[in-house]
């Protein structure tokens, strides 16, 4: 009798473990806006899953749509489970999260340090590409603290191949060979959306980044941090770092700009290097600058979005001084009081890729701003 009772308890216990291992969470995602959101990352805190879904050794969280099809997902360093959702205006969609074996997935966001190119750190997704410059480049080209752009017209991850072929002198990545190119010039400027203190009509630019740390690297999100030398502003020293986050499907990368150290408030400016063109569209939360047209390279448009801050747009023609530089640079600036940290987005559109006209890109910027301010609603059951 005791043996039978023991066996029964064992079966019950094992059954409980099995059920726990195969527990699942139903996630409802709702689009609260009147516009379609067909490529957007959904983020679910792991803390909301761990007490409902137990993972066996070697398992990870997997996501399925309502039809049971498995979706690409990623567990991030800040303890989130992310996956892509496609929702029409005001639509709700249901997803199931459970434990399972990890599978190979298509990489749609990726970043890499390139020592062969003097410490470049480059990152891309299936729409856009960017890079920032490291300290090894300073003795060669001088300091360049801005953000550079890779114009892309392919969904593939291509920057690794471009760097390799350029380094081996097979091609120049400054020429479009059918996938895109680098023709955006940065110099001693903010480039395409970097930020700097802005006092007395002067930008206080730092040097190139000193160290980097990769936090997440695909398949859906790349996130990394670059650290700079201390920057001295009006006699006070500040530690500077930038964190970049780029999700699959987005045409803008998130920037988290931090100044630490001495107290006090000061104005900052995120800006775009202005060439011989005055085409600027702006509001209190975003600005769009159209690059000069090129008969061979097409039209490009650089956008900045400040969903949490009101900005003052300053457009000038070779009047913005750069501290420590003998040359003045023309910028389109978004000026605001520094918040700790400053969070904004920068990116671009290209007529040879996803945005035929500047009006198309402007509509995207307006829609993107609304989506950040009105995130997808998520409930778990």
CA dist 74 and 96 (Å) reads: 15
User: What's the DSSP call for residue 310?
Assistant: -
- Looking up residue 32, the CATH number of its domain turns out to be 2.60.40.1180
In this structure, the answer to whether residues 73 and 141 fall within a common structural domain is no
In this structure, the answer to whether residues 117 and 92 fall within a common structural domain is no
pLDDT recorded at residue 233: 84
User: Residue 176: inside a domain, yes or no?
Assistant: yes
User: Residue 121: inside a domain, yes or no?
Assistant: yes
End-to-end CA distance of the chain: 41
* Backbone conformation region of residue 200, classed left if phi is above 0, alpha if psi is from -120 to 50, else beta: left
Question: Which of 72, 99, 126 is the C-terminal boundary of a domain?
Answer: 99
User: Count of domains in the chain?
Assistant: 2
Range of the domain at 193: 109-373
User: Residue 295: inside a domain, yes or no?
Assistant: yes
In this structure, the answer to whether residues 279 and 203 fall within a common structural domain is yes
Tell me the CB-side half-sphere exposure of residue 317, using CA atoms within 13 A. Answer: 5
In this structure, the answer to whether residues 61 and 20 fall within a common structural domain is yes
pLDDT recorded at residue 13: 37
- Looking up residue 222, the CATH number of its domain turns out to be 2.70.98
User: Residue 300: inside a domain, yes or no?
Assistant: yes
In this structure, the answer to whether residues 34 and 77 fall within a common structural domain is yes
Where are the extended beta strands (E) located within 174-230? 180-181, 192-199, 202-203, 211-217, 221-227
User: Residue 122: inside a domain, yes or no?
Assistant: yes
Sign of CA dihedral 208, 212, 214, 215: negative
* Backbone conformation region of residue 16, classed left if phi is above 0, alpha if psi is from -120 to 50, else beta: alpha
User: Residue 381: inside a domain, yes or no?
Assistant: no
Q: How far is CA 98 from the centre of its chain?
A: 28
In this structure, the answer to whether residues 211 and 88 fall within a common structural domain is no
User: Residue 241: inside a domain, yes or no?
Assistant: yes
In this structure, the answer to whether residues 53 and 185 fall within a common structural domain is no
Question: Which of 41, 74, 99 is the C-terminal boundary of a domain?
Answer: 99
C-alpha torsion 272→274→275→278, nearest 10: 120
Q: Within the chain, which residues score under 70 in pLDDT?
A: 1-22, 262, 264, 317-329
Cis peptide leading into residue 195 (ω within 30°): no
Cβ-proximal residues to 134 (8 Å cutoff; 6+ apart), any chain = 113, 118, 119, 120, 121, 208, 209, 210, 212
The edge-to-edge listing of strands for the beta sheet with 267-273 is 312-315, 331-337, 267-273, 192-199, 202-203, 321-322
In this structure, the answer to whether residues 295 and 335 fall within a common structural domain is yes
In this structure, the answer to whether residues 13 and 69 fall within a common structural domain is yes
CA dist 120 and 12 (Å) reads: 58
User: Residue 257: inside a domain, yes or no?
Assistant: yes
In this structure, the answer to whether residues 82 and 173 fall within a common structural domain is no
């Amino acid at each position: 009798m005791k043996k039978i009772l023991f066996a029964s308890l064992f079966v019950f216990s094992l059954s409980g473990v099995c059920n726990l291992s195969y527990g699942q969470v139903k996630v409802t995602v709702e689009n609260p806006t009147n516009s379609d959101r067909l490529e957007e990352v959904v983020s679910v805190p792991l803390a909301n899953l761990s007490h409902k879904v137990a993972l066996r050794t070697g398992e990870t969280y997997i996501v399925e749509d309502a039809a049971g099809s498995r979706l690409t997902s990623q567990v991030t360093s800040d303890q989130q489970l992310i996956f892509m959702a496609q929702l029409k205006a005001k639509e709700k969609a249901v997803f199931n999260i459970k434990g399972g074996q990890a599978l190979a997935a298509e990489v749609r966001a990726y970043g890499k340090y390139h020592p062969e190119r003097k410490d470049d750190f480059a990152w891309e997704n299936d729409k856009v590409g960017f890079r920032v410059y490291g300290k090894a480049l300073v003795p060669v080209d001088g300091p360049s603290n801005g953000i550079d752009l890779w114009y892309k017209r392919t969904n593939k991850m291509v920057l690794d191949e471009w760097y390799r072929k350029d380094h081996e002198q097979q091609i120049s990545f400054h020429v479009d060979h059918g996938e895109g190119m680098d023709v955006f010039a940065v110099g001693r400027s903010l480039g395409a959306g970097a930020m700097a203190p802005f006092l007395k009509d002067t930008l206080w630019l730092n040097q190139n980044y000193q160290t980097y740390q990769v936090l997440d690297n695909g398949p859906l999100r790349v996130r990394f941090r670059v650290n700079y030398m201390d920057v001295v502003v009006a006699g006070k020293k500040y530690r500077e770092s930038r964190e970049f986050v780029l999700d699959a499907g987005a045409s803008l990368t998130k920037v988290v700009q931090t100044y630490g150290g001495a107290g006090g408030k000061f104005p900052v400016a995120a800006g775009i290097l202005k060439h011989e063109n005055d085409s600027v569209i702006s509001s209190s939360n975003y600005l769009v600058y159209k690059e000069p047209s090129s008969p061979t390279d097409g039209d490009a448009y650089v956008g900045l979005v400040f969903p949490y801050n009101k900005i003052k747009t300053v457009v000038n023609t070779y009047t913005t001084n750069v501290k420590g530089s003998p040359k003045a640079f023309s910028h389109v600036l978004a000026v605001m009081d520094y918040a700790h940290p400053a969070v904004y987005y920068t990116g671009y559109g290209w007529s040879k890729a996803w945005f035929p006209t500047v009006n198309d890109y402007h509509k995207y910027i307006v829609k993107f701003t609304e989506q950040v301010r009105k995130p997808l609603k998520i409930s778990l059951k």
